[in-house]
Chain A
Amino acid sequence: MTTRHTFWAGLIGLTLLSFLSLFIGVIDVSPRDLISDQETFELLVISRFPRTAATLICGSTLAIAGAIMQMLVRNRFVEPMTAGTGQGAALGVLIVTLTMPSASIFTKMTVASLVALASSLGFLAIIRKMPPTQPLLVPLVGLIYGGLIGAAVTFVAYQADLLQYIGVWMNGEFSGVLQGRYELLWIAAGVGALTYLAADQFAIVGLGRATSINLGLNYSQVVLIGLIAFSVVSALTVTTVGMIPFVGLVVPNIVSRLAGDNLRRTLPLVALMGAGLTLICDILGRILRYPFEIPVGTVFGVVGAALFLWLLYRRPQHG
């Protein structure tokens, strides 16, 4: 099956899943009620549709963000949510909440993006000097770096008595998504889509600095564009639904193993699989302990790890 066929097959599957997602939750909704019952229709518009859309956007854009970051740092074991970008975003929101409590959500988002970008730059500066012969050092340093920023956020929040807010930013889930409170994510969707324009550039940057320059690429500029893209996506996710780990790590790795690293070809697959897996995990989280919910990040950790292990132990094949 070619990449293109896989994509279209996946897209059909995703559409069906999204439809399913609209009808699963504490309140029973069936497609028939929808036509007859005004209240049901409102539930759908106010809660179920926003939740499904948010899940799709976060899943796809976080996977794209992970794929881009892995190309830029030339290491498959990093993702924005664990290497400081997500924590930077949380720090940004915290700073706004402390200094400008009445700031608009747009201001919050801007500051979160800027601080996320700054901490991503910090990460890049740190790993720049690290030996390429030890690829596991990079994610390790990322974890420590992200952990430090995360700890700083928790400490400041504790001092300022804001711990309950922190919980929301640090542990992402979609149950709180309602109409009017998630729309900023469409900006993330836009950024995610725009990155496709630079897919070739990101793929070339993944070949290394020397090869990029040889091919006439403005290396630093492409790296900066990539940094901005995944920082904005992370910041928007953190400010609206909170941090969702693993998506950016697992999905690009699975796609890379199955279809290679030519982002022009594989980025749509990454987005699709990110959206699909996240949606499946969110649906699972809703039904496993019905009527209670398991946060999407927890479910994804388990499902993603299982999928990844399966992939590691089966024979690799690439398109």
Chain B
Amino acid sequence: MIRIENLSYAIEGKEILRDITLDVPRSGFTALIGPNGAGKSTFLSLIARLEPLQTGSIHIDDLQIGQCSDRDLAQRLSILPQVPDQPPRLAVRELVGFGRYPYNRGRPTSDDGAKVDHALSVLGITDLAQRSLDTLSGGQRQRAQIAMIFAQDADYVLLDEPLNNLDLAGTRTLLVILRNLAEQHGKTVVMVVHDINIASRYADRIIAMKEGRIVRQGAPDEVIDKALLHDVFATDAMVLSSDFGQVVLV
């Protein structure tokens, strides 16, 4: 379980996150939604200790952020940041191989090799394994980044807008992979996503943020309605109930 207590965060005096208290239960697929600038990325980067905490506390099971060892945490939790770093001149396989670094500290075993191959094949980029990242398309690169997170094989996986740059097939494949991680492997997946219909169809829990606060949370059917769109996103879109859940007409 991710347990967040009284988390606040300010940048240069401006409050970005305001007194968030939240439990994300173990295993499951959670979608984090909210308008631009709501604080979603900041929230995830605090959970993943990319920035130091100011007030409040975060626990990942028994590990407390800011207290536990980085290496222990890297085996427990992984994050795909929103802003992609400029592509390095690494072969795809080398990048994905770094996903095993928290375990092998640079001395890969054959087991690591197998995990890397598996990650490449799950993300459908086995044929790109030897290509240098700076020669790939945006979507191929995104898949390589996700393959690295996959190879890292952490119990908690945080993804900040992972669907960026992916085509329709890539989007569906990734969502199925994430669902599968949650359902079959008991992983806890938290994904920031802007497409509410995707959140509604694939996630089993939705958390809505606005102006640094968590304003709604629960199962998609409970959370997605006209009021949410009006209050959180300040837009009046129609919501239809269908056999596949709530559908927002954008």
From B15-23, B69-77, B118-126, B168-176, the one touching the partner chain is B69-77
Whether the Cβ atoms of B91 and A216 lie closer than 8 Å is no
Judge whether B81 is part of the interface by a CB distance below 8 angstroms.
Answer: yes
Whether the Cβ atoms of B75 and A216 lie closer than 8 Å is yes
Judge whether A32 is part of the interface by a CB distance below 8 angstroms.
Answer: no
Q: Contacts A210-B79, A214-B79; is A260 near B89 (CB within 8 Å)?
A: yes
From B31-39, B98-106, B211-219, B237-245, the one touching the partner chain is B98-106
B50, B79, B105, B152: residue with the most chain A Cβ atoms closer than 10 Å: B50
Judge whether B49 is part of the interface by a CB distance below 8 angstroms.
Answer: yes
B137–chain A nearest beta-carbon distance, Å = 16
Whether the Cβ atoms of B88 and A264 lie closer than 8 Å is no
Residue-wise, chain A 246-266 has the 8 Å CB interface mask toward B (1 for contact) of 000000000011001110100
Which residues on the A side are within 8 Å of B225 (C-beta)?
none
Contact of A215 among B72, B91, B135, B152 (CB under 8 A): B152
A225–chain B nearest beta-carbon distance, Å = 14
Contact of A318 among B49, B86, B91 (CB under 8 A): B91
Q: Once the chains are docked, how many angstroms separate the CA of A206 from the CA of B98?
A: 12
Q: Once the chains are docked, how many angstroms separate the CA of A319 from the CA of B91?
A: 7
A215, A217, A218, A264: residue with the most chain B Cβ atoms closer than 10 Å: A215
Q: Chain B residue with minimal CB distance to A318? A: B132
Q: Once the chains are docked, how many angstroms separate the CA of A200 from the CA of B45?
A: 24
Whether the Cβ atoms of B94 and A216 lie closer than 8 Å is no
Which residues on the B side are within 8 Å of A203 (C-beta)?
90, 98
Number of CB contacts from chain A to chain B under 8 A? 76
Which residues on the B side are within 8 Å of A312 (C-beta)?
none
Whether the Cβ atoms of A200 and B106 lie closer than 8 Å is yes
Q: Chain B residue with minimal CB distance to A199? A: B106
Judge whether B12 is part of the interface by a CB distance below 8 angstroms.
Answer: no
Judge whether B111 is part of the interface by a CB distance below 8 angstroms.
Answer: no
Q: Chain B residue with minimal CB distance to A201? A: B106
Contact of B101 among A210, A216, A257, A260 (CB under 8 A): A216
Which residues on the A side are within 8 Å of B85 (C-beta)?
74, 207-208, 210-211
Whether the Cβ atoms of A214 and B89 lie closer than 8 Å is no
Assign chain A's interface to a size class: 20 to 34
Residue-wise, chain B 107-140 has the 8 Å CB interface mask toward A (1 for contact) of 0000000000000000000000000101100000
Whether the Cβ atoms of B50 and A209 lie closer than 8 Å is yes
Whether the Cβ atoms of B132 and A132 lie closer than 8 Å is no
Which residues on the A side are within 8 Å of B69 (C-beta)?
216
Q: Contacts A74-B86, A318-B132; is A210 near B106 (CB within 8 Å)?
A: no
Which residues on the A side are within 8 Å of B105 (C-beta)?
200
Q: Once the chains are docked, how many angstroms separate the CA of A264 from the CA of B81?
A: 25
Whether the Cβ atoms of A216 and B73 lie closer than 8 Å is yes
Q: Once the chains are docked, how many angstroms separate the CA of A215 from the CA of B71?
A: 7
Which residues on the B side are within 8 Å of A256 (C-beta)?
89
Q: Once the chains are docked, how many angstroms separate the CA of A215 from the CA of B85?
A: 15
Judge whether A204 is part of the interface by a CB distance below 8 angstroms.
Answer: yes
Give 6 nearest A-B pairs by CB, closest first.
Answer: A216-B74, A200-B106, A208-B85, A318-B132, A216-B71, A216-B102
Instruction: A200-B105, A211-B98, A214-B81 given; name 9 further pairs at CB < 8 Å.
Output: A200-B101, A207-B88, A210-B50, A213-B50, A214-B78, A214-B152, A215-B152, A216-B74, A260-B94
